[in-house]
Structure 1
Amino acid sequence: MDHQSLGSSRLSSIFKPWKGQATWIARYWALYGGWWELIKSPYAQSSVVFGALCSICATPAFDPAATTISVVPNVLGFTVGALAIILAFSSADFFRYLTQKGKSDSLFMKTIANFVHFILIQIGALLLSIFSSAHSGIIWKFATVTMLTYAVLTTLSIVIQLFQMATVYNMSTKATSVKDGDDSEKIDER
């Protein structure tokens, strides 16, 4: 093996893990819905408006980078923990309803993709705030406030997704209890 092909082989082995990461990110992005889903997201749109308003109306002392660095790590830890819990219980019976018999775009996979999106937005907000803390100007303030706001608002998106999962679970137990002859629906739910 000559020196040039040895160097090429080493270089290729350095980038091989990145190729694998890019493949998984592309899968997540496709499941999330891509750029169109991001553009039409009411959470993203609200974040841009809020970021613009804060950038224009904020006092000079307002430091969105410091706010982000103090808020987002706690939310990020909670989010990763919630995702781990969902994955830990994914073998439970009711998850078979969520996976829709292994469908690649099942409610389960969409929920996981939304969690991944939520985590990536939080990481992006943190990285942007670190960079922004070294720079000044209205553009950096706008970008940081927008990302922080989007990171916070996607919490609502995840909560709604979890509510969908709970609704599916509730319907699956109802279907199972009716099939098994359970009379629990007769209970007054006042």
Structure 2
Amino acid sequence: MYKGVFSIYARYWRAYGGTAALVRSFYLHVALLITVICANAWLTLGWWDQVTAILPNVLGFTLGGFAIFISFGDEKFRQLLAEPDDENDDDAPTAYVRLCSTFVHFILVQILALLFAIIAKAMYFPWADAPAFFQASLPWMNGAAGFIGYALFIYSLTSALAATMHVFRIASMYESFQKSQAEPDGDPR
């Protein structure tokens, strides 16, 4: 029943580079550093309000940007990007799919951060009669949830830089493509 859903996520994850790409991500490392620096923000109750105030606007802008990105360049250029790489197997993602996966990653991280903040806000309520062991661990659980939620939020913002640089990479590739088309032999490679 969910085979198509799992299959498209697996395709995105593979095109993105998987766990190895995530762990090595400069933008993730910067986000974690900023999250640690901003400890006062996520250790304070109500950190989720900042996330829910900012991310919907960023998400709308991102979706519009992705739509524009998809239509970037002329048909020949998009066709060139979608061609399989000669050095890779036929199942390897093309340059076009790899670049789109950056936007998809950016959008997914924003959605995860937003959902996490909404759930954190919904789950926060006073519980005066909680068992003692739970009351003792609650500050630690709140701190851990705050760190995770705020880290997702900051990572969604630093991922904007990653997506921006991928757009710039495509623009540079398009410039090279246009220059090669203007050359006398017209060979785009």
Q: TM-score w.r.t. structure 2 length?
A: 0.77
Q: Which amino acid aligns with 1:154?
A: S
Q: 1-side partners of 2:172 and 2:108: how far apart?
A: 26
Question: How far has the Cα of 1:138 moved from its partner?
Answer: 1.4
Q: Which amino acid aligns with 1:128?
A: F
Q: 2-side partners of 1:25 and 1:59: how far apart?
A: 30
Q: How many residues align?
A: 163
Q: TM-score w.r.t. structure 1 length?
A: 0.77
Residue 148 to residue 95, structure 1, CA distance change in 2 (3 Å): same
Selected match of 2:78 from 78, 85, 95:
95
Q: Which residue does the alignment assign to 1:32?
A: 16
Q: Which residue does the alignment assign to 1:132?
A: 120
Q: Which residue does the alignment assign to 1:78?
A: 61
Selected match of 1:172 from 177, 180, 187:
177
Could you report, residue by residue, the CA deviation over 1:83-136 in whole angstroms, capped at 9, with x for unpaired residues?
22233457622222322x245422211111111111100000001101122337
Q: Which residue does the alignment assign to 1:11?
A: none
Q: Which amino acid aligns with 1:139?
A: A
Residue 126 to residue 92, structure 1, CA distance change in 2 (3 Å): same
Question: How far has the Cα of 1:60 moved from its partner?
Answer: 6.3
Question: How far has the Cα of 1:177 moved from its partner?
Answer: 0.8
Q: Which residue does the alignment assign to 1:23?
A: 7
Q: Decide which structure has the larger Cα Rg and report it.
A: 1
RMSD over equivalenced CA pairs, Å? 2.2
Report which stretch shifted further, 39-48 or 168-177: 39-48
Report which stretch shifted further, 23-32 or 42-51: 42-51
Question: How far has the Cα of 1:61 moved from its partner?
Answer: 5.0
Q: What pairs with 1:1-190 in structure 2 (closer than 5 Å)?
A: 16=1, 18-55=2-39, 57-58=40-41, 63-89=46-72, 92-99=75-82, 101-103=83-85, 104-133=92-121, 134-135=123-124, 137-179=142-184
Identity of aligned residues (%): 29
